[in-house]
């Protein structure tokens, strides 16, 4: 141990210091009356630590708990006050109707009589399959033939509703026209005709047309004439 008087190291069992001669029991008892150095250091360190923690706690409360408390306070939202809209008073407009004038009587237009539609003369030949039958053709005489019309010759043998006037038929072969065509009683569905033709028309094919006064178009369905040869008497 260390001598409390001179500070020299002496054995633990010595009763006095061998250097300065101080009795160790008295010094030790006096030294034991006060706190040891380590205890004093511990007390000082504990006090400093306590003060540090108090300061730290105060800082925590000031910087962390106080802002959170202030944030929890309800924020007052200003309420907008909407003033009621005033509806303007309705103004009823009174419209006076103009004086009604007395209607002027109008005379209904006189309807002219509708003309009666003329019968379609050309339609009477629609669908009629005509055939030509030649009678003997003699030299220096007209060619005689008849046209077979199933159902009757329109206008001459077969009556056409609404048709009036005469039905005059004529035949054209090549560039020559017939001298006349007629229906002979007792010979049903036949239109007899005769035509003057030159000798060169013998045994030839020439275009053939059939016309009636009430129809301007060709009503013959065969389109061509296959002429016979000329015979001698």
Q: Which of 29-38, 40-49, 62-71 has the lowest mean pLDDT?
A: 29-38
pLDDT in tens, 126-183: 889 999 999 989 999 999 999 999 999 999 999 888 887 788 999 999 999 998 899 9
Reported as a pLDDT band with limits 50, 70 and 90, residue 84 is: low
Among 222, 225, 153, which Cα is nearest to 182's? 153
What is d(CA 44, CA 232) in angstroms, rounded to the nearest whole number?
176
Q: What is the DSSP string of the chain?
A: -B-TTT--B--TT-SB-TTT--BHHHHHHHHHTSPPHHHHHHHHHHHHHHHHHHHHHHHHIIIIIHHHHHHHSPPPPPPPPPPPPPPPPP----PPPPPPPPPPP-PPPPPPPPPPPPP-TGGGGTT---EEEEPPEETTS-EEEEEE-TT--BTTTB--TT--S---EEEEETTEEEEEEEPPTTSTTEEEEEE---GGGTT-EEEEEEEETTB-S---SS-EEE--PEE--
Tell me yes or no: is domain 122-231 CATH 2.60.40: yes
Among 156, 151, 163, 158, which Cα is nearest to 121's? 163
**Phi and psi at residue 32, in whole multiples of 5°?**
-75, -15
The pLDDT of residue 227 is 92
pLDDT in tens, 193-203: 999 999 999 99
pLDDT above 50 for 59:
yes
Reported as a pLDDT band with limits 50, 70 and 90, residue 29 is: very low
Among 204, 218, 202, 224, which Cα is nearest to 131's? 224
For the chain, the structural domain boundaries read 1-34, 36-69, 122-231
Reported as a pLDDT band with limits 50, 70 and 90, residue 100 is: low
What is d(CA 137, CA 228) in angstroms, rounded to the nearest whole number?
7
The pLDDT of residue 35 is 66
Distance of CA 75 to the CA centre of its chain: 56
């Amino acid at each position: 141990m260390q001598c409390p008087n001179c500070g020299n190291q002496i054995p633990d069992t010595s009763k006095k210091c061998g250097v300065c001669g101080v009795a160790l029991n008295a010094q030790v008892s006096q030294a034991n009356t006060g706190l040891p150095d380590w205890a004093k250091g511990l007390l000082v360190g504990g006090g400093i630590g306590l003060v540090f923690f108090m300061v730290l706690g105060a800082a925590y409360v000031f910087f962390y708990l106080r802002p959170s408390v202030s944030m929890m306070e309800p924020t007052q939202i200003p309420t907008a006050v909407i003033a009621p809209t005033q509806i303007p008073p309705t103004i009823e407009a009174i419209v006076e109707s103009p004086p009604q004038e007395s209607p002027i009587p109008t005379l209904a237009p006189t309807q002219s009589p509708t003309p009666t539609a003329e019968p379609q003369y050309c339609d009477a030949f629609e669908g009629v399959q005509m055939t030509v039958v030649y009678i003997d053709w003699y030299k220096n005489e007209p060619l005689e033939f008849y046209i077979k019309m199933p159902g009757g010759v329109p206008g001459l043998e077969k009556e056409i509703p609404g048709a009036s006037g005469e039905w005059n038929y004529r035949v054209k072969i090549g560039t020559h026209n017939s001298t006349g065509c007629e229906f002979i009683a007792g010979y049903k569905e036949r239109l007899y005709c005769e035509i003057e033709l030159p000798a060169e028309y013998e045994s030839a094919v020439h275009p053939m047309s059939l016309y009636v006064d009430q129809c301007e178009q060709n009503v013959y369905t065969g389109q061509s004439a296959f002429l016979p040869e000329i015979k001698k008497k």
